[in-house]
Amino acid sequence: MSQQPPVSADARAEIKDFLTTRRAKVTPQMVGLPVVAGHRRVPGLRREEVAMLAGVSVDYYTRLERGNAAGASDEVLEALASALLLDDAERQHLIDLARAVTPTGRMRRRRGRAKSCAVRQDTQWLLDATPMPAAVRNGSGDYVATNTMARALYYHMFVDPIPEVAAEHPSMARFMFLDPRSRDFFPNWQMGAEDLVAMLRLSAGEDPTDPCLQALIGELSTRSREFADLWARHDVRYVCRSEKVVNHPIVGQIHLCYEPAAMATTPGMTMLVYGVEPGSPSEEALRLLSSWAATELAPEDTAAAQPAEPR
- d(CA 167, CA 169) in angstroms, rounded, equals 5
Would you say the C-alpha torsion 63, 66, 70, 71 has a positive or negative sign? positive
Q: How far apart are CA 77 and CA 63, in angstroms?
A: 13
pLDDT in tens, 52-82: 999 999 999 999 999 888 888 889 999 999 9
Q: Determine the 3-state secondary structure of 137 from DSSP.
A: strand
Please tell me the chain's helix, strand, coil percentages from 3-state DSSP, rounded to the nearest 5. 50, 10, 40
- At 100 the pLDDT is 83
Say how far apart CA 210 and CA 231 lie, in whole Å. Answer: 17
Closest CA to 276 of 248, 304, 299: 248
CA distances 274 to 19, 62, 105, 143, 212, Å, are: 35, 45, 40, 14, 26
22's CB contacts (< 8 A; 6+ apart) are 84, 86, 90, 234
Residues 6 or more apart whose CB falls under 8 angstroms from that of 38 comprise: none
Q: Rounded to whole angstroms, how far apart are CA atoms 28 and 141? A: 37
Whether the pLDDT of residue 17 is over 50: the answer is: yes
Instruction: Tell me the domains of the chain and their CATH numbers.
Output: 9-108 (1.10.260.40), 121-304 (3.30.450.180)
Amino acid 305: pLDDT: 46
Asked whether the beta carbons of 217 and 208 are under 8 A apart, the reply is: no
Most distant pair of Cα atoms in the chain: their distance: 70
The CA distance from 12 to 24, in Å, is: 18
The per-residue pLDDT for range 256-286, each reduced to its tens digit, is 998 888 888 888 889 999 999 999 999 999 9
68 — phi, psi (to 5°)?
Answer: -90, 65
Contacts of 33 (CB under 8 A, 6+ apart): 45, 49, 53
Tell me what the mean pLDDT of segment 30-43 comes to.
Answer: 77
Residues 135-156: tens digit of each pLDDT: 999 888 899 999 999 999 999 9
